[in-house]
């Protein structure tokens, strides 16, 4: 199993043209079904969002908590957690999904730009794979895609693969060097230790 540093190097060396050809072979066209934006059965929508992406979505009327929530795994039982997830509404759907469309489409996070594709250097359990390019189940798969659109998507997938690994390495560094000394549950992200509302813990 490669280390994160090795995965980062592998991500940086991904060939965009080869990825684009793989996407053309698999086929994809978004059907705008909203399945990747909504809750699954009793599980709320959970998609990672990075600190820079949260700030890109902040406005005078929209603060951190309106955009992101602590990644729920562990946090719901009072433990610290790693990184952030997109905020959800009362139904468990993405807070930005309304009336069948994304209200922040042009600024949507990398994970939303690249779904259902991902780069995975460890596993091979997804439904469709092509070398290290994986596709989760999605109604848009196996539809025709132009090489121009495939190349644009390939660039986004490579950027996400690099960003994911860089963020994970930074989170590891923060977790190992920035001990949490209060009883309040906290979030470790690539920038440090934060309150659930996104404020940084003061020393």
| pLDDT tens sequence across 91-108 | 999 999 999 999 999 999
pLDDT bracket for residue 135 (50, 70, 90): very high
Residue pair 40/160 in contact by the 8 Å Cβ criterion: no
What domain count does the chain have?
1
| pLDDT tens profile 29-54 | 999 999 999 998 778 899 999 999 99
Region 124-135 average pLDDT: 71
pLDDT at 124 over 60: no
Q: Could you give the percent of the chain with pLDDT greater than 70? A: 94
79 vs 143, which has greater pLDDT? Answer: 143
| pTM of the shown model | 0.91
Find the domain containing 58 and state its range. Answer: 4-179+186-194
For β-strands 117-119 and 84-86, DSSP reports them as: unpaired
Whether residue 14 is contained in a domain is answered as yes
pLDDT bracket for residue 181 (50, 70, 90): confident
| pLDDT tens profile 66-90 | 999 999 886 566 678 999 999 999 9
What's the pLDDT at 77? 61
Region 139-144 average pLDDT: 96
Whether residue 117 is contained in a domain is answered as yes
Whether residue 202 is contained in a domain is answered as no
Whether residue 201 is contained in a domain is answered as no
41 vs 143, which has greater pLDDT? Answer: 143
Contacts 24+ apart (CB under 8 A), 57-66: 57/104, 57/107, 63/197, 63/198, 64/197, 64/198, 64/199, 65/196, 65/197, 65/198, 66/95
């Amino acid at each position: 199993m490669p280390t994160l540093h090795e995965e980062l190097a592998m991500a940086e060396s991904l060939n965009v043209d080869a990825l684009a050809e793989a996407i053309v072979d698999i086929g994809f066209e978004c059907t705008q079904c909203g399945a990747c934006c909504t809750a699954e059965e009793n599980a709320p929508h959970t998609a990672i969002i990075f600190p820079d992406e949260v700030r890109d979505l902040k406005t005078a009327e929209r603060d951190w908590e309106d955009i992101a929530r602590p990644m729920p795994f562990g946090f719901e039982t009072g433990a610290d957690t790693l990184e952030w997830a997109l905020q959800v509404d009362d139904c468990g759907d993405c807070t930005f999904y309304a009336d069948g469309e994304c209200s922040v489409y042009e600024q949507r996070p990398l994970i939303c730009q690249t779904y259902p594709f991902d780069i995975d250097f460890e596993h091979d359990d997804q439904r469709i794979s092509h070398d290290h390019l994986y596709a989760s189940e999605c109604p848009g798969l196996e539809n025709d895609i132009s090489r121009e659109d495939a190349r644009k998507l390939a660039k986004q997938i490579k950027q996400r693969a690099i960003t994911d690994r860089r963020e994970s390495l930074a989170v590891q560094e923060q977790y190992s060097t920035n001990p949490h000394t209060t009883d309040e549950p906290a979030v470790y992200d690539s920038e440090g230790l934060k309150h659930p509302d996104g404020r940084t813990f003061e020393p």
